[in-house]
Amino acid sequence: MSMAKAERYKSTCSYCGVGCGIIVQKDQKGKVSVEGDPDHPVNKGMLCSKGMNLHYVVEDKSDRLLHPQMRWGKSHPLEKVDWDTAINRAGAVFKSIIKKHGPESVAFYVSGQCLTEEYYLVNKLAKGFLKTNNIDTNSRLCMSSAVMGYVKTLGEDSVPIAYEDIELADCFLVTGANPAWCHPILWRRVESHKEANPDTKIIVVDPRVTQTCSLADLHLQINPGTDETLYLAIGRCLIEQGDIDLDFIEKHTDGFEAYKEIAMGTSLEEASIICGVPVSDIKKAASYIGDAKGFLSLWAMGLNQSAEGVNKNLALIDLNLITGHIGKPGSGPFSLTGQPNAMGGREVGGMATLLASHRNLANPEHRKEVADFWGVDEIPAQPGKTATQIFEGLEDGSIKALWIICTNPLVSMPDARKVEAALKKAKFVVVQEISNKAEAIPYADLVLPAAGWGEKEGTMTNSERRISYLNKFTDAPGEALPDAEILLRFAQKMGFPGFDYKNMGEVYAEYCRMTKGTNIDISGLDYDFLKENGTVQWPFVDKSKGGTPRLFTDKKFYTPNQRAQILAAGPKNKTELPTGVLPLILTTGRIRDQWHTMTRTGKVSKLNKHIPSPFLEIHPEDAAERGINDGDTVLVNGNRGEVRVHAQVTDKIKKGVVFLPMHWGKILKNDFARANNITGNAIDPVSKQPDFKYSAVQVSLY
Ligand code: SF4
């Protein structure tokens, strides 16, 4: 018997938005190993613990869904069926519900881990053919406040920087993020830069002392939720110090006078009390920024996951705008993407409020352009329901059928018990998944087994607008199919034209044509170019010119008058304030070696060793007041539910604040470690992003 040849493929890590390049080796027996791609511009051969262990996830098929399953009625068990039966049922139920209740009665809830082609197809299917804009994504929980921050200030959802700006910056403001754990390879580049240039200043803003703080020259341990006040206070100092760029402000921005009035409306002493940081530290942060030739602001969920997420984004981006630190080397506002393809999804219009190529659903001309391109009569004008609204729709009966793709909402959505109640009320739930551990499966009427990373081809876009092609290097187990293939079969079953692609390259080519003439034009791009030349940053209009590392170098922004908008609303905390009964503030977040709801990283014993079980971080004084010692089992109570975990008593968290990791779901029967039992449905009014970072709780010994 002849042995197969060893094979080598290029891919991109499927976890965080850093987008590290990976070389996959398959030996003669088909065994897979991974290593960092030394030629990749993002990671230059490095991988973090999660990326390094991706091969375990590929090889361990023990929890994989292998066959479609269906139940004939709510009281019946799930039964194995063939693909034709499964797709026929999905088609029949969607047709019947739409006929009876209208297109707004169905919805799709997808993921920032979907490939761009999958995102494109599900949006075309829903918005173009099913005639509903009820297609939203878990990126709503992650990036939507940053999206609206960019749209309002710069005119579009366009991250202006390139990673190469890291090595050109001499001041970093890292806020609402712990990149040392959550964007590790990017942070290693910051560490190396600081090591080579010790005068580089790093300011970290966080109520917790995280691993990121170990590199900080200044840690502002603020009270949760007070970020906006802090940035405005820093802005005030910059104005008073004369460290603003008046020439840039005058020539390229609007709104400075209104901003100045708001910033000067709060004294540094008042800001110091609100934020819980000394005036001297606010001044020091401003002097670091004021002295910088290159200033990068970096942020993530700490700002975005807030009922004031957009305003926090605006106040932070304003610091780059008033100092003119944008569109030049080493400078710019840089939102750290959580998921590997949150940006790619947004490019193709993968949210209830967007259309492909950064077109705006609210704009009739944009809707007509998209309808004409797809050959349909119209795109519905009514905005779709966003993530939390979709589950509210299930609960109030306005949504009857939900199709969940590649996400685990019973762990990741706020107020998870409300999500459980909503799924129970649904008439029809489709769960398209790789893992039989996904907690929505017991609520599913139809379970569709999907292919995972390496089992399908497609593209993704990372945090710096870098598009990469991901190779298929292994077959999916059982009868699992690529998500795109499942969607195509469904669209064909529904009788929709325009879904007869021969391969994924054709899907991508169609999307690339759609971008022509827009600010994210990639009409010059195709699979062949990506396979031959590696990754590119959009816009990419012409193969001879290549991609675009840095935006706005000409200082022409994407707003109607091409001027950046300096906008500040002034802080108003609209979240759940602590009370005598619930006196502590709960904030949630990630740990180093787990990813989201652990359906993949939780399978890797090496990763589980880092932090094997859920915990509550609590300050020693708060613990002592409650008779709690390190390691004790504690009950965390909030307005919506409770969590039972062990206490980690540490002065690394601010007094009055407690922290739960977001990864764990129901780990034992009747024993809950799910942080989202407690978090609430408060959303930002503009971005509709939920607030995971501010819930009133009490903690007691169990
Ligand atoms: Fe993967 Fe992110 Fe780690 Fe890079 S930093 S290896 S993209 S998880």
pLDDT tens-digit map of 275-332: 999 999 999 999 999 999 999 999 999 999 999 999 999 999 999 999 999 999 999 9
Whether the ipTM is more than 0.95: the answer is: yes
Query: Same structural domain for residues 24 and 80?
Result: no
- Name which of 118, 231, 204, 302 is nearest 569 in CA terms: 231
Q: Quote the ligand 1 centre to 274 CA distance (angstroms).
A: 36
Residue 111: how many CB atoms within 10 A of its CB? 26
* Span from the CA of 531 to the centroid of ligand 1 (angstroms): 21
User: Which residue's C-alpha comes closest to atom 3 of ligand 1?
Assistant: 48
Query: What does the pLDDT look like over 90-121, one tens digit per residue?
Result: 999 999 999 999 999 999 999 999 999 999 99
332 & 344 share domain:
no
CA–CA separation, 16 and 54 (whole Å):
12
Do 425 and 465 fall within a single domain? yes
Q: For ligand 1, is residue 20 a contact (CB within 6 Å)? A: yes
User: For residue 178, what are its two tokens?
Assistant: 């712990």
Judge whether 356 lies within some domain. yes
Q: What is the pTM of this model?
A: 0.96
Answer yes or no: is the C-beta of 54 below 6 A from any ligand 1 atom: no
Helix (H) or strand (E) holding 25: strand 21-26
44, 38 Cβ separation under 8 angstroms: yes
Q: Is the CB of 466 under 6 A from ligand 1?
A: no
Please state which of the ranges 5-19, 163-177, 392-406 shows the lowest mean pLDDT.
Answer: 5-19
Q: Would 550 be classed as within a structural domain?
A: no
Q: Which atom of ligand 1 is nearest to the CA of 19?
A: 7
Is residue 173 within 8 Å of 295, Cβ to Cβ? Answer: yes
- When pLDDT is cut at 50, 70 and 90, the band that residue 479 belongs to is very high
Say whether pLDDT at 668 is over 80: no
Substitution site in 24, 37, 46, 185 for ligand 1 pocket (most atoms within 8 Å of beta carbon): 185
Beta bridge partners of 10: 23
Tell whether the model's pLDDT for residue 199 goes beyond 70: yes
Ligand 1 midpoint to CA 308 (Å): 29
Is 468 inside any structural domain?
yes
Ligand 1: atom nearest CA of 49 is 3
Q: Are 336 and 209 contacting, i.e. CB atoms less than 8 angstroms apart? A: no
Query: Which residues sit opposite 646 in a β-bridge?
Result: 615, 633
Single residue among 285, 306, 336 that ends a domain in this structure: 336
Q: What is the pLDDT of residue 681?
A: 84
Domain assignment present for 84: yes
Token pair recorded at residue 294 = 């290159």
For residues 315 and 297, state if they share a domain.
yes
pLDDT tens figures, 571-587: 776 778 899 999 999 99
If one compares 228 and 545, the residue with the highest pLDDT of the two is: 228
The verdict on residue 543 lying in a domain is: no
Provide mean pLDDT across the span 381-406.
97
Atom 4 (ligand 1): residue with closest C-alpha? 20
What's the pLDDT score for residue 667?
61
- Beta-carbon neighbour count of residue 669 at 10 Å? 5
Q: Which residues contact 466 (CB under 8 A, 6 or more apart)?
A: 19, 41, 42, 535, 536, 537, 547
The pLDDT tens digits for 487-518 are 999 999 999 999 999 999 999 999 999 999 99
Query: 314 alpha carbon to ligand 1 midpoint, in Å?
Result: 28
Q: Which atom of ligand 1 is nearest to the CA of 47?
A: 6
* 480 plus 623 within the same structural domain: no
Average pLDDT of the segment spanning 418-444: 96
Tell me, using a 6 A CB cutoff, whether residue 184 lines ligand 1: yes
- Do 150 and 47 share a structural domain? no
CATH code of residue 115:
3.40.50.740
**Rounded to the nearest whole angstrom, what is the distance from the C-alpha of residue 21 to the centroid of ligand 1?**
9
- 179 and 234 co-located in one domain: yes
> Does residue 383 share a domain with residue 522?
yes
DSSP structure string for 91-158: HHHHHHHHHHH-GGGEEEEE-TTS-HHHHHHHHIIIIIII----EEEGGGGTTHHHHHHHHHHHSSS-
Candidates 594, 623, 598, 596; CA nearest to 611 is 594
Q: Residue 269 is part of a domain; what is its CATH number?
A: 3.40.228.10
Looking at the predicted structure, is the pLDDT value of residue 652 above 50? yes
Per DSSP (E only), the strands in 339-381 are: 354-355, 359-360
Instruction: Report CA(22)–ligand 1 centroid distance (Å).
Output: 10
Task: For residue range 22-32, list pLDDT tens digits in order.
Answer: 999 999 988 99
The minimum-distance atom of ligand 1 relative to the CA of 46 is: 6
| Whether residue 326 sits in one domain with residue 387 | no
In a domain, 562, yes or no: no
- 11 near 4, Cβ under 8 Å? no
Do residues 141 and 692 lie in contact, with contact meaning Cβ atoms separated by under 8 Å?
yes
List pLDDT tens digits, range 131-164. Answer: 999 999 999 999 999 999 999 999 999 999 999 9
Number of domains in the chain: 4
Q: Which of 50-64, 210-224, 388-402, 670-684 has the lowest mean pLDDT?
A: 670-684
**Residue found by looking up tokens 């944008």 in the block:** 326
Tell me if residue 401 falls in helix, strand or coil. strand
pLDDT, residue 669, reads 53
The rounded Å distance from CA 298 to ligand 1 centre is 17
Q: How far apart are CA 329 and CA 598, in angstroms?
A: 38
Mean pLDDT in residue range 667-676: 73
Q: Ligand 1 mean position to 167 CA, how many Å?
A: 19
Residues 591 and 613 in one domain: yes
**Ligand 1 site-directed mutation target among 24, 40, 47, 53, most atoms within 8 Å of CB:** 47
| Domain co-membership, 128 together with 165 | no
* CATH code of the domain in which 681 resides: 2.40.40.20
- The ligand 1 atom at the shortest distance from the C-alpha of residue 185 is 5
Instruction: Evaluate: CB of 47 within 6 angstroms of ligand 1.
Output: yes
- Whose tokens are 């030739």? That residue is 293
- Among the listed residues 666, 632, 643, the one whose alpha carbon sits nearest the alpha carbon of residue 584: 643
pLDDT, residue 1, reads 46
pLDDT at 570: 79
Write down which residue in 302, 321, 336 finishes a domain: 336
- Give the structural domain span for 149: 144-336
Decide if 2 is inside a domain.
no
- Ligand 1 centre from 12 Cα, in Å? 9
CB distance 394 to ligand 1 below 6 Å: no
The rounded percent of the chain whose pLDDT value lies above 90 is 91
Residues 137 and 192 in one domain: no
Joined tokens for residue 586: 């709960």
> Does residue 275 lie in a domain region?
yes
SS3 454: coil
CB 664 within 8 A of CB 591: no
Domain boundary pick from 336, 364, 399: 336
- Is the CB–ligand 1 distance for residue 34 below 6 Å? no
Cα 42 to ligand 1 centroid, rounded to whole Å? 10
HSE value, Cβ hemisphere, 13 Å, CA-based, for 285: 30
Alpha-carbon distance of 345 to 356, in angstroms, equals 9
> Is pLDDT at 651 greater than 70 in this prediction?
yes
Structure-block tokens of residue 584: 């502590």
* pLDDT surpassing 60 at residue 2: no
